[in-house]
Amino acid sequence: MSALRTKLDSLIAKTDLEVSEQQREQLVGYVELLDKWNKAYNLTSVRDPLDMLVKHILDSIVVSAHLPGERFIDVGTGPGLPGIPLAIMNPEKTFFLLDSLGKRIRFIKQVVHTLGLKNVTPIQSRVEEFQPEEKFDGVLSRAFASMTDMVEWCHHLPKQEHGVFLALKGQHPKDEMDQLPEWCSVTEIISLAVPELEGDRHLVILSRKEN
């Protein structure tokens, strides 16, 4: 068993997540691809694949239990975070991964092909210019923008009924919450436990205020 797989197994054992053999292999495969491409294309500042397991994989998949609905878009996905790990964990849900940089989308297409992911659609576009044929149950963002910018730029993406914004944040983002536009409210803040990650992690769920 590879060092990456051994480390991943030990991290997952510290959570309540149920992760199948195939999912574990796909998560390791994703890290191996990210490490390989990162040397040439500088897709992430995290250089050590073992660190990627904590800072990218576990940091993403702990959100898995908090995804309401079936159809999601990951805006400013970068190299596919948190979208790829969440798609691996939730094969019954659909994920659209959006980024404006071609090298990131090329990488995601390679990941989708190599890992055989049937529920991921990569999209190269600026978020404010992207007009989906169908709206989304959830709009995900991680290290993308302030929550105010996120909801302003992505206001056209969630479904009118029950659509939510899901922002992955570090410390409790009180300052950002205070600056949200009038039409948007925080419905829930979930403290996330990420094994071996230094610092706090929170998932902030936002929605349109009901008229």
In the annotated binding site, the residues are: 76, 81, 127-128, 142
- Please give the span between the terminal C-alpha atoms of the chain, in angstroms, as a whole number: 55
- Residue matched to tokens 């999209």: 123
* H and E: helices and strands count for the chain: 8, 7
Q: Which DSSP category does 143 fall into?
A: S
Provide the annotated binding site for S-adenosyl-L-methionine: 76, 81, 127-128, 142
**How many Å apart are CA 209 and CA 129, to the nearest integer?**
24
Which of these, 123, 24, 17, lies nearest to 67 by C-alpha position? 17
DSSP alpha helices (H): ranges in 116-173? 147-153
C-alpha distances in angstroms, 43 versus 50, 107, 182, 200? 16, 9, 35, 24
* Residue 143 neighbours by CB distance under 10 Å: 12
Q: How many residues does the chain have?
A: 211
